[in-house]
Amino acid sequence: MVLLSCRFILCTLLALLVGAQVSLADDIDCPGTPVTVRAGSSADAAPICTAVTDALQTLRTCNVPLTHSVTVIQRDTLKSGCMGVYHCGEEEIELLTPATMEAARNPDSSLAFVDTQTYFNSILTHELAHAAFDAVPCPFDSCLATHEYVAHVMQVRSLPAADIARFEAAVDMDTPLSRESINPFIYLMAPDAFLRRAWAHYRQRPDPCGYIGEIMSGKVVLDRERFE
């Protein structure tokens, strides 16, 4: 199977959400960032821009700079169970609002204990990491595992230290994980296991953000060419 996708999504297995889309209005620039928020007013955009600034700080301080413009759009509903979607090519991120995210969260997720606003910010970080990594050339048909590795690691990294500690307490952080354990099949079949593996693998690197920098420079690719 060749995985060709230009949409990176974070989904749960919950049922389809119903509801109307947030009414669309202007694109409002988040000051000092390449990110624009589609919102009804500057007041509506302000809290999202604050979250964007924090997310970009999480990314930048771990060698994941966002170097191109992206528009963030909040929705009351997304494709079945999804929290957020990054549309490459269109340079758009769609996210559930925090209120709709609250209802859509998977109670069995490893991050189910994280409060919803913090979780919303982590999903924003996840999708912005996809946008940043999208600038890195992929030598194969698909770099899905590498894309999702960077996004999931940055998502967890965005959390408060106490939340990271609680998450890690339920994860086997010590058994050494090989590069091959981070693969697209685990991501597609068991996304929560992928999240735990990605974080444990990242934390096992001698220089975790240096490793992310090697991924962002194209020196390290977790995917492999697949002949089928």
Contacts to Zn ion by CB under 5 A? 8, 10, 148, 151
Of 7 and 203, CB closest to Zn ion = 7
Q: By C-alpha distance, which of 95, 89, 191 is closest to 131? A: 89
Distance CA 117, CA 98 (A): 6
Rounded to a whole number of angstroms, the minimum distance from the CB of residue 191 to Zn ion is: 9
Of 148 and 223, CB closest to Zn ion = 148
Rounded to a whole number of angstroms, the minimum distance from the CB of residue 134 to Zn ion is: 11
Q: What is the DSSP secondary structure assignment for residue 4, as one 8-state letter?
A: -
Of 39 and 157, CB closest to Zn ion = 157
Of 28 and 110, CB closest to Zn ion = 110
Q: Which two tokens stand for residue 79?
A: 């494709």
Q: By C-alpha distance, which of 88, 67, 2, 63 is closest to 219? A: 63
Q: Which two tokens stand for residue 11?
A: 């989904």
Rounded to a whole number of angstroms, the minimum distance from the CB of residue 151 to Zn ion is: 4
Rounded to a whole number of angstroms, the minimum distance from the CB of residue 11 to Zn ion is: 9
